[in-house]
Every structure is written in structure tokens, then in C-alpha cells.
Amino acid sequence: MKKIIFNRYGSFDDLQMTDVQTPTIKDDELLIRVKVVSINPLDWKRLEGQLKIITGFKFPKGIGIDFSGIVKQKGDAISSFQVGDAVFGGVDAMKGAALAEYIVVKEAAIFKKPEAVSFETAAAAVTTGVTALHLLEKCNAKSGDSLLINGASGGVGMAVLQMAKLQGIKVTAVASGEGLAFIQKWKPDVAIDYKIQSVLEQKTAYNAIIELAGNLPFGRGKAILKPQSIFASTLPNPVDMLKAFLNNLFSSKKFQIIIANTTPDYYRQLCESLTQKGLEIPIAKNFAMADFKEAYQFARKGGIVGKVVISI
């Protein structure tokens, strides 16, 4: 089978397609024929070695976290899924190896794909939707609270914006250009073009800030936070993890670094959002597996609206 791997930390040029044996399963595992994989920033953070203190130095490594596909085989201990079921899910974010024709997963890593949801949308929704749910839960924002989303036109940002508005939260959305124009459909209470105006110039103090763009560090963002507030980031690095730990010992303005883990409850909420609450997960572009390097380069350059996916 075909699989995308890398043998050292580096750039997209270090990614390569290789032929490997189709994996075998244990009694508590399933073999998934992958149909679509979506790209996440954590993919290139791992590839570039930004998280090597966590991901280690054992190679080769795979890439890709979120996927959708079909159950090809199931172990004898599996009762919730049948061969032929359409599913979606995510592999371990720090070991990501979903970009392959077949993968082996545990039962808890997948959920049945709603019939009304495409394989592309399902794959694109995993980290995007689950992270959005986790962020809103950690921010403890409720109806009437003020929330700043920095990077509101990215995959997670758009999901958070939609979910927050449904909850009655007052949202300030920060983006620019085509992305800022696109997210107006979800009616943020305030929209800021970061190329024209700095969020730090706002007189508003926020109950929570969700940092998704990588350009608003906690040290600056806390100036526009209310007391007893949350600054949440989905961009983990060892330095910020240490800063968050030390800050949270003494300050009422908490710094949370979010790496969302999929759970059955999050999957259920996500399916409900997609099928009953109108959650949209826009797809910016769909690439063939053979064009994996081009797909990652396209996603990495930024400035796109929606998720990038790879069909296998």
C-alpha cells in the first residue's frame, strides 16, 4: 500500500511516498481503507521538528491526523462497527500517520459518518470541529460573554465562530481580505481587519481570547482580557507550555494550550452540529494523493479560506 512518510525533521521536500505492507490488526483494532485526509498545522509542526521534545527521534514517521474512510476489517472484540461502515476520526496527534491507503485504529478513535455528510467534510471536520468544541468548553464562555477569535477565517476559527454565535456569545472576529469577507455570513458582532487595525487598540475587554493565527502572544493579549478570563491557544510549543504553567500559578488571567482529543461525546456533538445545527466546514481545495507535496505547500502558505484535503 502507499503511505506518506518522512525520515528526518525538515521541510515538505522530506516527505516521500513509499510502498509498505498493509498493516494487520489485533482483536481490538480495525483496518480502515482511507478515503480522505485533511491537513492541519500540527502536521508541519511535527515535520519541521517544532515538537521533537514530544515526538522523539524514531523514524520513519507518518503524517496526517484526520481522516474518513471505510471499515475494511475488524477484530473479534469489536462490536460497535461492521465491515463496510463509513467512518471518520483521528489518529494520535503526536504520531499522525493517517496519510496512507490503510490505517489501523482503535474503536474509540472513530465514529460512524452521518450519511448526509460527505467523506471530504467528515475528514475536514475532525480536528476543526472537536477543537472548536473543546475551546468553547475550556473558555467557559456563556451567552452574553465577549470572545475574541484571532484567526477567525481558518478552519477552527470558522467553526468556533459558528458555534459561539449559536450560544449567544458576543464574538469579535479577526481576519483579513477574502477570509474576513467570507465569515460575514455568520454575522460576527465585530469584525477586525488585522492589516488595518490592531486588536490591541480595542477598548473592549474580553472574557476569553482564542488565538489561532500565531501572531497574538499571551504576553500581549492579556492586556485586553478581563480579570478571571481565559486565553486559549491551539499552537503548542514547549516554551509556551512552560509560560502557561508558571502564569496559571499566580494570575487570574489563565493561559490554556489546547490539544483536543477526540471522544465519543465530542463526536456526537460534532455530528449533531453538522446535521442539525447547520455547521459548515468549507473545503478550500481537494488534492489527489500523488500531489501531497503541493497540497501541503498550498495549505502552509496561508491566506486560504477553508480546509485543504487529500483524496486517496
pLDDT digits 0-9 by tens, 18-55: 999 999 999 999 999 999 999 998 899 999 999 898 89
CATH at residue 169: 3.40.50.720
CATH at residue 85: 3.90.180.10
Shared domain for 173 and 248, answered yes or no, is yes
**H or E segment at 181?**
helix 177-182
Shared domain for 206 and 155, answered yes or no, is yes
What's the confidence (pLDDT) of residue 239? 82
Shared domain for 88 and 131, answered yes or no, is no
Shared domain for 71 and 163, answered yes or no, is no
Residue 108 within any structural domain of the chain: yes
Measure the CA angle with vertex 96, ends 92 and 100; round to 5°: 125
Shared domain for 108 and 214, answered yes or no, is no
pLDDT digits (tens, 9 = 90+) for 146-201: 999 999 998 999 999 999 999 999 999 999 989 999 999 999 999 999 999 999 98
Residue 119 within any structural domain of the chain: no
- Residue 30, strand partner residues: 74, 105
Shared domain for 85 and 157, answered yes or no, is no
Distance CA 84, CA 267 (A): 20
Measure the CA angle with vertex 41, ends 45 and 205; round to 5°: 110
In the chain, the number of structural domains is 2
Shared domain for 74 and 160, answered yes or no, is no
* Residue 257 near residue 233, CB atoms below 8 Å: yes
Residue 83 within any structural domain of the chain: yes
Residue 33 within any structural domain of the chain: yes
Residue 273 within any structural domain of the chain: no
pLDDT digits (tens, 9 = 90+) for 101-131: 999 999 999 999 999 999 999 999 999 999 9
Q: Is the peptide bond before 60 cis (omega within 30 degrees of 0)?
A: yes
Distance CA 225, CA 69 (A): 42
Domain of residue 203: give its range. 126-257
Shared domain for 161 and 230, answered yes or no, is yes
Residue 274 within any structural domain of the chain: no
What's the confidence (pLDDT) of residue 196? 93
pLDDT digits (tens, 9 = 90+) for 182-194: 999 999 999 999 9
Distance CA 242, CA 123 (A): 32
pLDDT digits (tens, 9 = 90+) for 230-248: 999 987 777 888 888 888 8
Shared domain for 136 and 87, answered yes or no, is no
Shared domain for 95 and 131, answered yes or no, is no
* Residue 191 near residue 180, CB atoms below 8 Å: yes
* Residue 216 near residue 204, CB atoms below 8 Å: no
Share of the chain above pLDDT 90, in %: 84
What's the confidence (pLDDT) of residue 182? 96
Kindly give the pairing relationship between strand 307-311 and strand 283-288: parallel
Q: What is the 3-state secondary structure (H, E, C) of 266-292?
A: HHHHHHHHHHCCCCCCCEEEEEEHHHH
Residue 266 within any structural domain of the chain: no
**H or E segment at 5?**
strand 2-6
Task: For residue 284, report the phi and psi dihedrals to the nearest 5 degrees.
Answer: -75, -45
Shared domain for 135 and 248, answered yes or no, is yes
Distance CA 243, CA 245 (A): 5
For the chain, the average pLDDT equals: 94
Shared domain for 155 and 236, answered yes or no, is yes
Predicted TM-score (pTM) of this structure: 0.90
Residue 56 within any structural domain of the chain: yes
